[in-house]
Structures are given as structure tokens and as C-alpha cells.
């Protein structure tokens, strides 16, 4: 059994205007040493998924179905105290906004010591020693000096390294990183991604990397999930998804990238935009934007079809695979 | 080729308004008031030719937006000049500037802040027409608005609605319509797609490319995203700490980057290709533009820096049709 197994996770938000479903039918597994990417456009549900895994989703949001099995235990059913233990010691999170982790009025060293002492019985000296060791692990320049600095004295790239060091403090099994480099420049982003990749290997960490950047997913992860309007629409080995996407939305996303276009010519755009949660259309949520949409797409929610190593939620893919199977049968 | 816009030896510094206490220093038995500046632009020379899409690229804080704003007359240069069709425009009175305000339009990064929340879309589009073409009657104004709305794919039904009812991509479409509606010749776009999702970025880029073709526009396009540059730009100017490192036709810059910083930047683009290419790691981080490094501003991070780099500011020199500011390239130490 995998270390983390998310099964049919469903999350709802109870809004004044009625209930909306932010996530449905999210399933995947992750073990130590594996790297999983979650991609999708803004509002697709990537952050809600990350927060839910850690049971950090708060009112008006709640987990309305499914299981999050970690070491066989359902995290959705744990007490606050048990969950706090998991969050500190077993699964760490790196947030989209660095200031969600860093306290502006404490030095880096004090925050790290505080974090260690909150989770383990340990004296100050020992805690500082471990903190320094982790700062070295994330290859920050002059680590001793950083312990006594405040967050505002550090550049964006250094802040992100410190956040990674904090995430590593208690030697977790899994790190969930939500857009860890969105606010950073390309050269710094490349360094941070390189660091995450290296840490996953050297520390045997499981990584869930959330991003809207397919380039980043393709360089860092082995497995990928593509989300649209709160659902997984395609998942499988990253290489296969990038080189041979099955779902029309994944294909559209890849083809819309400037690096896939012919310089100076129009890009292959996807028309329209992703609907908000309270206006998700019937049937396949992508159908108003899809070039292949059929009558069935407007009515019936497509289930997953296996194609190669990937699974895609699309009637077209299902039809194609069925045809292929039939052809093979008659041969 | 004639240049439409010329940036001549441009410098721009901003005073730092810290606490008074921060600005006072004590030395030689006296109190001094420190005058500290952010040196945002340090001697930029750049011509934008008629009909081209010139992209300015660089990391955050390198001065791209400051160049854009100075060109548009939203900031005045600390020294240097901006010329339009050979005429100096950075020192014009507001009245003398009026015709240029129509010919030159700007599109901003944040589609949320650039539209007046209290104006309907129709009002937001009619306003600049009435302002710049007061002779048009109401019917003519409406006709003009309808024509531009159709050309950028804005549904006529959007007209009566307010900006908050639209998504980021839709708002950027409206901002573009607002820029196009006064028949400009020159458009400065400052990170126009950075706040948008991939599928929407493609829509907006296509729209800007169509407009360029149909209306013979000239673009100064500011971005930090090199893959957008590769697709959209006819020529590229790479900036670092307020100075130009390299200016070259797009194809050339991507196939044979000459400046060490350009090389590092190109190697850091996250590509879709299978094999992870080795990216060039730079030492340290971008220094602040408050205390500029001596000599080449890149020397502290450059793998090819030598003694001369620490002292002498490299000039932009022509090397096989590329303009590069690097001693190593000049000395032929570097390709
Ligand atoms: N507290 C909340 N109340 C109501 N709706 C919410 C809440 N938090 C998130 N949502 C909605 O849930 C959906 C998914 O949001 P989420 O933050 O997971 O998107 P995301 O994929 O992380 O996007 P981004 O790339 O912009 O970070 C969105 O439609 C969002 O508006
Ligand atoms: N109005 C201002 N006052 C003070 N400093 C400024 C101002 N505008 C820009 N700067 C500084 O000038 C430098 C260049 O900024 P900017 O042109 O916005 O960079 P970019 O657009 O390339 O990210 C930065 O260090 C920035 O902090
Ligand atoms: S199910 Fe239909 S509408 Fe949805 S992606 Fe597939 S073909 Fe397109
Ligand atoms: S001038 Fe010197 S420091 Fe500057 S880029 Fe060239 S080699 Fe590097
Ligand atoms: Mg998010
Ligand atoms: Mg800017």
C-alpha cells in the first residue's frame, strides 16, 4: 500500500448562495521518493486539493467525501492534535505565499527553533544546531548569518530556501509545494527547482508539486495530474502526458504554449475560459471550449479511460480506445 | 529603416524617501543628510523601428517598467531624451504632448487596476474617442466603438456591464480595445499577459499579433518570459540592473546568445523537452540598484569576469549583427 492514498476526495464550500463543489473525485497515490505534479489554471482547485490533504481546509469549506489515507489512517478523521503531529512530522507544506510561513517579527533562527520545540522535546542549542544543518542542506549562502536575520532582510530566492529548510526541519516523508516559485525570477526558479529535485533524491522525499507551469512539471516530476474545474481530467507519467496527451484540454494547454508555436504566427488558443464553480456546465465541464464536443459531452460526465499509461476523462478518448479494442478483436 | 521611437542615453533615478532618521548620518563631527537613490536606468540607448515588435526582457526590478513609463511620458528622465519620429517629446508641455498621447498607447500588466470600476465597458471605450476626436458626433463614436469591439472579439452585450463582472483575460481584451480605439501607431505593453492563465495568454497574444498586422502597429513589449519573446518579438533587448546587455534580432538571440547573462537566462527557461538541459548557475543574487556595482553591473555574478570588468563599464558594441555590452566578447575570450 502506498504511503499516501487519496481516494475519491470531494470538497464543498457552503456559500450563502448555495453549496458549490470545489473538488470531486480526486484520487492518486504517492510514496517516498516519488514526485507528482498537479497542474491546472487558476481556480482549477490545486490549492484546495493541497489544503484538504493536510486537513487544513476551513469553513465554509469542508471535506464532503472520500478518504485521505496516510500510513493506512484516514487523515480526514483524525483529531486536531493527531493531525498536528502528522503536519509537523510527516507531511510539510510550502505555501504559495512565503509570508504564510515566515513571521516578519521573528528572526529566521527563532522561527526554526520555535518550530522544532513545538514538535519535539529539544533544548535551544540543539534546535539551533539542527536549524543550521537544514540551512546548509538548502545551500543558502552564509547560513550562520541567516539565523539572526529577519525575513525582510532576505531576497525572494533566499526566503524560499529558508521556507524549504523549515519544511525539512522534522524530516518529513512528504512535502507539498504549492507554486513555490511563482513569485521568483526564472534564474532563481531554476535553482529552487533544482534544489527540490536534489532533496527528493538525497532525502528520499515524496513531493507533490503544484504549479500552473507545464515546463516546470515536465522538468521536475515523474507523474502528473491535470485538473480542470475541480476534477482530474488526465493523469499519468509526466513524459507521456507532455508528449502524447490524450485529453483535448491537456492537448490544448500544451499547444497554447508560446514555445510550441511557430515564431511570429498565431498560437493555438483554447477559446473561452474556465467556468467559476457555481457555473460548471453539465456533462463534461470542458465541453463549451472543446473542439471535439459531441451531444453526449453535454449530458454525460465522462469517466476515466485507460490509454497507455495515462487515464483521461473524456468521451472521445473512450470512443477511440473502444474502437481500437474492437479492431484488435476482429483481427 | 527609420526609428519611430528613440531612447537616447536615458538615466532615471528615484530618491529613497526613508525615515528622516535613516537619512541622517553622523561623520566628521557633523550631521549629514544622506541623499540615496535607486538607480533604475543607467544609460540606455535603444531605437524602436517602425513596424517591429521590440521586446525588452529581464528579471524583476531591472528597470523594464521604468523604461516603459519614461517612454510614455509618465515619468520624466533624470537625464537623456525620448524622441518620437525625430522630435524630442520628454520635455513637452501637456498641450504640445496631446497628439502624442493619442499616437502612443500603453497596456498594463494588471487588468484589474487599469479600468475605471465605475464606468461601463461602453463608457470606458467611448471616453478616449471623445477626448481625442472631439469632432466626431455621437453616432460616429458609437460606430467606432462597435468596430473595435468586434475586432478584438468583445461581445456587444458586454457594453452595459462593469469591469468587475469580467475575468482577467476579458479585462485585458477590454484594455487592448481601449488602447486601439484611438488609432495609435505605437503601443507599449508592460507585461500584458503575465497575470493571465496559459490558455488565456495565447488568446491575448494572438489578439496583439492580429492588431499589429491589421493596423501596422509598432510595439515595445515588456516581459520577463523568454518563451513569449521568442514567439512574439522581432527583436529583443536584454536588460540587467538598468543597463542593456544585448540587443539582437529574436532568431539570432535565441540561436547564439553572446552575453553571459543572456546565456544564463536562456538556459533557465523551463522547457517541455524530455532531457533536462543544464542551466547555468549564477553566483549570488541581483545586487540592489541603490549601490550599483562598479564597472560591468553583472561582474559579481559573471563566470567570465576579470579585473577590467570590475572597473570599466562595457559599451554596447556591434558583433556580427548583435549589439553586446561585454568585455569578454569584445576581447574574444567569449564566443
Ligand atoms: N474559502 C473559499 N470560499 C469559497 N470558494 C473558495 C474558497 N477557497 C477557494 N475557493 C474556490 O475554489 C476553487 C479552487 O481554488 P484554488 O485556490 O484551489 O485554485 P488554484 O487551482 O490553486 O488556483 P491558483 O492557480 O490561482 O492558485 C476556486 O473556484 C476558488 O474560488
Ligand atoms: N516610483 C519609484 N520610486 C522608487 N523606486 C522605484 C520607483 N519605480 C521603480 N523603482 C525602482 O526602480 C527599479 C526598477 O524598477 P522597475 O522599472 O519597476 O523594474 P521592472 O519593471 O523591470 O521589474 C527597482 O529597483 C524599483 O524598486
Ligand atoms: S468529453 Fe467531450 S467535451 Fe469533454 S473533452 Fe472529451 S470530447 Fe471534449
Ligand atoms: S563585461 Fe565582464 S563581467 Fe560583464 S558580462 Fe562581460 S565578462 Fe561578465
Ligand atoms: Mg493556488
Ligand atoms: Mg515591471
| pLDDT digits 0-9 by tens, B262-314 | 999 999 988 887 565 677 888 877 888 898 999 999 999 999 999 999 999 99
pLDDT above 80 (res B111): no
Co-location of B191 and B65 in the same domain: yes
If one counts every other C-beta atom within 10 angstroms of the C-beta of residue A327, the result is 9
Report the residue of chain A nearest B212, measured CA to CA: A264
Residue B212: what pLDDT?
93
The answer to whether residue A193 neighbours chain B at the CB level (below 8 Å) is yes
Residue A97: what pLDDT?
77
Nearest neighbour of B198 by CB, restricted to A41, A157, A186: A41
* Residues linked to residue B31 through DSSP beta bridges, in sequence order: B26
CB contact under 8 A, A219 and B251: no
CA of A181 to the centre of ligand 6 (A): 18
Co-location of A75 and A222 in the same domain: yes
The answer to whether residue A215 neighbours chain B at the CB level (below 8 Å) is yes
Candidate of A232, A233, A284, A296 to mutate for ligand 3, largest count of ligand atoms within 8 Å of Cβ: A284
CB contact under 8 A, B271 and A185: no
State how many domains chain A has. 2
Co-location of A137 and A201 in the same domain: no
Residue nearest to atom 3 of ligand 3 (CA): A287
Residue nearest to atom 6 of ligand 3 (CA): A314
Assigned domain for A267 exists: no
Residue A252: what pLDDT?
96
Q: In whole angstroms, give the CA distance from residue B260 to residue B301.
A: 10
Residue B310: what pLDDT?
97
Band of pLDDT at residue B21, cut at 50, 70 and 90? low
* pLDDT tens digit sequence for B56-70: 999 888 999 999 999
Residue B282: what pLDDT?
84
Q: Which residue has the higher pLDDT, B239 or B153?
A: B239
Co-location of B181 and B33 in the same domain: yes
CA of A254 to the centre of ligand 2 (A): 33
Assigned domain for A270 exists: no
The reported pTM is: 0.89
What count of CB pairs under 8 Å joins A to B? 121
Best mutation target among A44, A145, A156, A269 (most B Cβ atoms within 10 Å) is A269
- Residue that is last in its domain, among A146, A171, A196: A171
CB contact under 8 A, A190 and B270: yes
Residue B19: what pLDDT?
59
Residue A181: what pLDDT?
87
- Residue that is last in its domain, among A171, A197, A229: A171
- Residue that is last in its domain, among A128, A154, A171: A171
Q: In whole angstroms, give the CA distance from residue B181 to residue B176.
A: 9
Contact A48, A62 (CB under 8 A): no
Report the residue of chain B nearest A266, measured CA to CA: B206
The answer to whether residue A291 neighbours chain B at the CB level (below 8 Å) is no
Task: List CB contacts (< 8 A) between B54 and chain A.
Answer: none
Task: List CB contacts (< 8 A) between B167 and chain A.
Answer: 273
Co-location of B12 and B61 in the same domain: yes
- Residue that is last in its domain, among B172, B201, B233: B233
Co-location of A297 and A178 in the same domain: yes
A323: containing domain: 4-90+172-260+275-330
Task: List CB contacts (< 8 A) between A288 and chain B.
Answer: none
- Residue that is last in its domain, among B233, B267, B289: B233
pLDDT above 70 (res B22): no
Task: List CB contacts (< 8 A) between B251 and chain A.
Answer: 263
Stretch (H or E) spanning A201: helix A186-202
Co-location of B39 and B148 in the same domain: yes
Task: List CB contacts (< 8 A) between B59 and chain A.
Answer: 185-187
CB contact under 8 A, A258 and B279: no
B319: containing domain: 257-335
Co-location of B221 and B316 in the same domain: no
The answer to whether residue A226 neighbours chain B at the CB level (below 8 Å) is no
Co-location of A233 and A117 in the same domain: no
Task: List CB contacts (< 8 A) between B284 and chain A.
Answer: 141
Assigned domain for A265 exists: no
Residue B60: what pLDDT?
87
Residue B168: what pLDDT?
84
Nearest neighbour of A269 by CB, restricted to B206, B230, B272: B206
Instruction: Enumerate residues lining ligand 4, CB below 6 A.
Output: B 259-260, 296, 298-299, 302, 304-305, 309, 314, 326-328
Instruction: Enumerate residues lining ligand 1, CB below 6 A.
Output: A 13, 22, 40, 42-48, 60-61, 212, 276-277
Chain A closest-CA separation from residue B332 CA (Å): 26
Residue nearest to atom 9 of ligand 1 (CA): A48
Percentage of chain B exceeding pLDDT 70: 94
- Average pLDDT over chain B, rounded to whole? 91
Of all atoms in ligand 4, which is nearest to the CA of residue B306? 2
Chain B closest-CA separation from residue A24 CA (Å): 22
State how many domains chain B has. 2
Residue A246: what pLDDT?
97
Residue whose grid cell is 522561527: A111
Co-location of A8 and A61 in the same domain: yes
Residue B196: what pLDDT?
86
Co-location of A13 and A59 in the same domain: yes
Assigned domain for A266 exists: no
Band of pLDDT at residue B25, cut at 50, 70 and 90? low
The list of chain A residues with pLDDT below 70 reads none
CA dihedral B28, B34, B38, B43 (to 10 degrees): -70
CATH of the domain at A12: 3.40.50.300
Residue B254: what pLDDT?
95
Residue nearest to atom 14 of ligand 1 (CA): A45
The answer to whether residue A201 neighbours chain B at the CB level (below 8 Å) is no
* Strand B3-15 relative to strand B79-84, pairing: antiparallel
Co-location of A213 and A242 in the same domain: yes
Q: Is the reported ipTM for this assembly greater than 0.95?
A: no
Q: Which residue has the higher pLDDT, B286 or B320?
A: B320
Among left, alpha and beta (phi > 0; psi -120 to 50; other), residue B14 is beta
Q: Residue A280: name the closest of A217, A228, A206, A227 by CA.
A: A228
Cα radius of gyration rounded to whole Å, chain B: 22
Q: In whole angstroms, give the CA distance from residue B251 to residue B46.
A: 19
CATH of the domain at B134: 3.40.50.300
Ligand closest to B69 (CA) is 2
Q: In whole angstroms, give the CA distance from residue A54 to residue A70.
A: 10
Q: In whole angstroms, how far apart are CA A173 and each of A34, A51, A91? A: 10, 17, 6
Q: What is the CA angle A321-A323-A326, rounded to 5?
A: 110
Amino acid at each position: 500500500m502506498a504511503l499516501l492514498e487519496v481516494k475519491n476526495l470531494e470538497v464543498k464550500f457552503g456559500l450563502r448562495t448555495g453549496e458549490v463543489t470545489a473538488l470531486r473525485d480526486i484520487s492518486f497515490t504517492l510514496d517516498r521518493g516519488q514526485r507528482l505534479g498537479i497542474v491546472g489554471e487558476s481556480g482549477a482547485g490545486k490549492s484546495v486539493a493541497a489544503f484538504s490533504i493536510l486537513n487544513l481546509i476551513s469553513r465554509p469549506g469542508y471535506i464532503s467525501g472520500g478518504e485521505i489515507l496516510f500510513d493506512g489512517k484516514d487523515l480526514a478523521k483524525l483529531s486536531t492534535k493527531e493531525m498536528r503531529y502528522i503536519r509537523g512530522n510527516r507531511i510539510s507544506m510550502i505555501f504559495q505565499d512565503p509570508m504564510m510561513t515566515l513571521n516578519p517579527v521573528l528572526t529566521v533562527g527563532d522561527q526554526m527553533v520555535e518550530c522544532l520545540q513545538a514538535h519535539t522535546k529539544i533544548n535551544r542549542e540543539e534546535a539551533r544546531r539542527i536549524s543550521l544543518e537544514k540551512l546548509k542542506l538548502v545551500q543558502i549562502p552564509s547560513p550562520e548569518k541567516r539565523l539572526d536575520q529577519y525575513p525582510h532582510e532576505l531576497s525572494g530566492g533566499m526566503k524560499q530556501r529558508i521556507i524549504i529548510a523549515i519544511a525539512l526541519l522534522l524530516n518529513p516523508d512528504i512535502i507539498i509545494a504549492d507554486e513555490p516559485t511563482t513569485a521568483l525570477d526564472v534564474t532563481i526558479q531554476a535553482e529552487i527547482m533544482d534544489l527540490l529535485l536534489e532533496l527528493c533524491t538525497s532525502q528520499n522525499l515524496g513531493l507533490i508539486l503544484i504549479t500552473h507551469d507545464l515546463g516546470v512539471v515536465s522538468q521536475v516530476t515523474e507523474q502528473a495530474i491535470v485538473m480542470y474545474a475541480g476534477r482530474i481530467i488526465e493523469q499519468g507519467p509526466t513524459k507521456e502526458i507532455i508528449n502524447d496527451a490524450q485529453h483535448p484540454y491537456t492537448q490544448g494547454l500544451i499547444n497554447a504554449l508560446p514555445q510550441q508555436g511557430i515564431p511570429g504566427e498565431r498560437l493555438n488558443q483554447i477559446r473561452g475560459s474556465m467556468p467559476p464553480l457555481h457555473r460548471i456546465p453539465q456533462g463534461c465541464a470542458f465541453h463549451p471550449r472543446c473542439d471535439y464536443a459531441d451531444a453526449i459531452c453535454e449530458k454525460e460526465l465522462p469517466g476515466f479511460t485507460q490509454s497507455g499509461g495515462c487515464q483521461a476523462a473524456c468521451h472521445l478518448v473512450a470512443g477511440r480506445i473502444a474502437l481500437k479494442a474492437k479492431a484488435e478483436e476482429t483481427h | 529603416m527609420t526609428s519611430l521611437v528613440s531612447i537616447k542615453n536615458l538615466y532615471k533615478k528615484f530618491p529613497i524617501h526613508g525615515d528622516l532618521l535613516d537619512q541622517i548620518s553622523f561623520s566628521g563631527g557633523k550631521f549629514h543628510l544622506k541623499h540615496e537613490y535607486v538607480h533604475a536606468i543607467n544609460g540606455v540607448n535603444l531605437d524602436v523601428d517602425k513596424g517591429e515588435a521590440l521586446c525588452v526582457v529581464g528579471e524583476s526590478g531591472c528597470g523594464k517598467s521604468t523604461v516603459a513609463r519614461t517612454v510614455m511620458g509618465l515619468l520624466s528622465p533624470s537625464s537623456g531624451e525620448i524622441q518620437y519620429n525625430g522630435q524630442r517629446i520628454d520635455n513637452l508641455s501637456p498641450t504640445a504632448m496631446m497628439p502624442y498621447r493619442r499616437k502612443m498607447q500603453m497596456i498594463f500588466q494588471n487588468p484589474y487596476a487599469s479600468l475605471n470600476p465605475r464606468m461601463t465597458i461602453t463608457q470606458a471605450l467611448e471616453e478616449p474617442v471623445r477626448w481625442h476626436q472631439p469632432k466626431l458626433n455621437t453616432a460616429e463614436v458609437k460606430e467606432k466603438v462597435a468596430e473595435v469591439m468586434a475586432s478584438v472579439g468583445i461581445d456587444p452585450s458586454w457594453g452595459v456591464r462593469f469591469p468587475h463582472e469580467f475575468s482577467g483575460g476579458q479585462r485585458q481584451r477590454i484594455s487592448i480595445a481601449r488602447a486601439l480605439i484611438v488609432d495609435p501607431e505605437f503601443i507599449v505593453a508592460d507585461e500584458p499577459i503575465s497575470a493571465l492563465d496559459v490558455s488565456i495568454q495565447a488568446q491575448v497574444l494572438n489578439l496583439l499579433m492580429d492588431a499589429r498586422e491589421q493596423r501596422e502597429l509598432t510595439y515595445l513589449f515588456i516581459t520577463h518570459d523568454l518563451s513569449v519573446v521568442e514567439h512574439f518579438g522581432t527583436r529583443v533587448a536584454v536588460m540587467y540592473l538598468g543597463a542593456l546587455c544585448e540587443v539582437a534580432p529574436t532568431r539570432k538571440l535565441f540561436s547564439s546568445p553572446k552575453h553571459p547573462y543572456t546565456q544564463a537566462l536562456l538556459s533557465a527557461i523551463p522547457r517541455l523537452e524530455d532531457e533536462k538541459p543544464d542551466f547555468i548557475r549564477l553566483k549570488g543574487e541581483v545586487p540592489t540598484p541603490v549601490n550599483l556595482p562598479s564597472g560591468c553591473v553583472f561582474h559579481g555574478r559573471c563566470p567570465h569576469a576579470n579585473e577590467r570588468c570590475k572597473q570599466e563599464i562595457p559599451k554596447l558594441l556591434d558583433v556580427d549583427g548583435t549589439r553586446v555590452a561585454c568585455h569578454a566578447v569584445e576581447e574574444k575570450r567569449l564566443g
